[in-house]
Structure 1
Amino acid sequence: MEKRLPRSAMIFSLGFVFMLVCAVGAFFYGVKIGTSKTETKYEMKELKSASAENNRPYQQQDLVSFYHTVFLPYREFQSKWDDAVSGFELSDGGSASSILKDLANLAHAKKSEAASVDLQQSPLLGEAQNDYIRSLGQFEQAAKAAAAQAKSTSGSELTGKIKQLDSYRLAVSQSLAAQQSYYTAMMKWGATVDPNIPTDYAMPKVIEVKKWTSLPLIVKNKLMADQLASREQLTVFYPQDLTSRIDKFISSGQQAKLNLTTISAIAELLMDTEAVRSGDFADNHTTLYKQDLLPQLPFFS
């Protein structure tokens, strides 16, 4: 005869099974919540780390490292490019073609050199590095395109054709954008050293002479990098050369004689008359900027 469990025993068994199911469910729910909290804490830590990195003060060693590993290779190429292009009017198409092929190879080599280090931990320097690398890539393309045209083009026409190339225009634009980022990074470094130097200073539409003379040198240099970018023209001189030439122009009284009241007007006059030279800053450094703060970079020496 089949025995049946008493009613109380059945209820107890069902209750025990129910409690066991609840316990197992609670365990897995707890694991899920714990994992979620851990992931959230990790994500917050990553976000805080990224935020701290983005707000990381610019160090002088960052500026120096960028100068030697990215800026200098680019400027070495630009110097060769400027010398070659300025001499095309005196050369025949065949030699110009050969020179341009060499320039394409040089641009490729300098692009690899500029990309050999990682400077992305400093946002502005990372941007500048990327733009210089892209600029060199576009110069490489421009040189190859011009080399193909050089044999059928006179030297006097070749320079004009090069400037019409989209790759050349893009190379110039990216180079000037990189220069802006580099000089902005210098200003941000200066702000960590001297509280009178602003962290940000956008190029205003109009800068009166009186306002200009009150600005720190490192801010003036940044503004002249902006000025050169707006002009969309490569120059052999640096932004600080233009800065010093403007300051010399003002201090000599020439600005007052010509009744020029804005810095943009003075800058345009000096550049249009080719009155700015590479080395102007070095010539005026000791007389105009003895006490001004600058990072210890070779082109400021």
Structure 2
Amino acid sequence: MKAKVETEQAAALEAQKEQAKKERLLREQKLYNEQDFIRFYYSVYAPLLKLKQAHFQTMAKLTEAQMEEREAALKQLAEETESILQAVEKDLALAGSPLLAQAKSHFEESLRSYLDGIDEALSDQNSNALNPDGLASRLNLFTNNWLKAQGYLYKAIAMWESVYVNKQALPKELPQTVSVALWKDYPFHYRTYVAAEYLAQMKVYDSFNPEDLTARLDLLFRSQEAATLGIKDVPSAIRLLEATDAVRSGDFKQLHPKLYAGLKAPEIPMYRE
């Protein structure tokens, strides 16, 4: 019993030291530098966005396609995924950005799950296995890993914002429900991290990215529509936008001039107009 207590105390002390070191490095602006985001974007995220686009384009075609065409399309998608996985798995120096390292690891796992899901569908004798609904049931692990990885990525960007823009620590944890008023108080990149976390909680894997959802939420909350509809928190707003198919890939860049003049962000293409 005594040994167990001592082990737990030693582990807690080590965790405190690690946290103190992290806080010191953040104050000294030695974590989450611009170059880490640039390396991550071009080595990891850009290929993943290409695959995401290919996935949704393929899903749109499957419903009307013949069986042979479905098989060919999914085999092509698997080949692209395999190629992207090999590229993403390459070593990348991210010691100064642990959240990006975690995002990379989970994205890799999501790609492996994606390949497993497609392989399972192609091996199934049931013709319904190759339609979008049949595939979705086999890609649950993929989407869970992707959404988790996405959360790490956007938290890393929020961390960059807190260190280099606002110079204020991130909140210790998210509240159980983010109200509209609280959402408006958050800086942009932290709002986008919140959006990514809600997408993960709701298991929403769609063609748009979290910054597109943030832009649509900001537009909604600026209008009188949210109040008219009685929307008081972010989850309710997301459910409304998702149910009405109101969020589109590219919404952030389209709304950027109207909503985000002077926005500071890492120098990566996803934030360029």
Report if aligned partners of 1:270, 1:276 keep a CA contact under 8 Å in 2.
yes
| Aligned ranges 1:59-208 → 2 under 5 Å | 59-121=33-95, 122-149=97-124, 152-154=126-128, 158-165=131-138, 168-195=139-166, 197-200=168-171, 202-208=173-179
| Aligned ranges 1:1-20 → 2 under 5 Å | none
Give the TM-score normalised by structure 2.
Answer: 0.85
Aligned partner of 1:162: which letter? L
What whole-Å deviation, never above 9, does each CA across 1:182-219 have from its counterpart, x for those lacking one? Answer: 10111111111123543345332222222211211111
Q: Distance in 2 between matches of 1:201 and 1:119?
A: 27
1:224 paired with 2:199, answer no
Q: Distance in 1 between matches of 2:24 and 2:83?
A: 31
Q: Distance in 1 between matches of 2:92 and 2:85?
A: 13
What whole-Å deviation, never above 9, does each CA across 1:69-91 have from its counterpart, x for those lacking one? Answer: 00111111121111112211110
Q: Distance in 2 between matches of 1:198 and 1:170?
A: 32
Number of the residue aligned with 2:6: none
Q: Distance in 2 between matches of 1:175 and 1:193?
A: 27
Q: CA deviation at 1:289?
A: 1.1
Q: CA deviation at 1:296?
A: 1.9
Distance 1:204 1:287, change over 3 A: same
Aligned partner of 1:117: which letter? D
Q: CA deviation at 1:117?
A: 3.2
Q: Distance in 2 between matches of 1:194 and 1:278?
A: 26
Unaligned runs of 5+ in 1: 1-46
Aligned partner of 1:101: which letter? K
Q: CA deviation at 1:98?
A: 1.2
CA RMSD in angstroms comes to: 2.4
Q: Distance in 2 between matches of 1:64 and 1:152?
A: 44
Number of the residue aligned with 1:23: none
Residue identity over aligned pairs, in percent, reads 24
Report if aligned partners of 2:36, 2:94 keep a CA contact under 8 Å in 1.
no
Distance 1:53 1:114, change over 3 A: farther
Unaligned runs of 5+ in 2: 1-16
Report if aligned partners of 1:180, 1:222 keep a CA contact under 8 Å in 2.
yes
Report if aligned partners of 2:128, 2:134 keep a CA contact under 8 Å in 1.
no
Number of the residue aligned with 2:186: 215
Q: CA deviation at 1:271?
A: 1.0
Give the TM-score normalised by structure 1.
Answer: 0.77
Q: Distance in 2 between matches of 1:57 and 1:196?
A: 13
Number of corresponding residues: 251
Report if aligned partners of 2:163, 2:169 keep a CA contact under 8 Å in 1.
no
Q: Distance in 1 between matches of 2:161 and 2:144?
A: 26
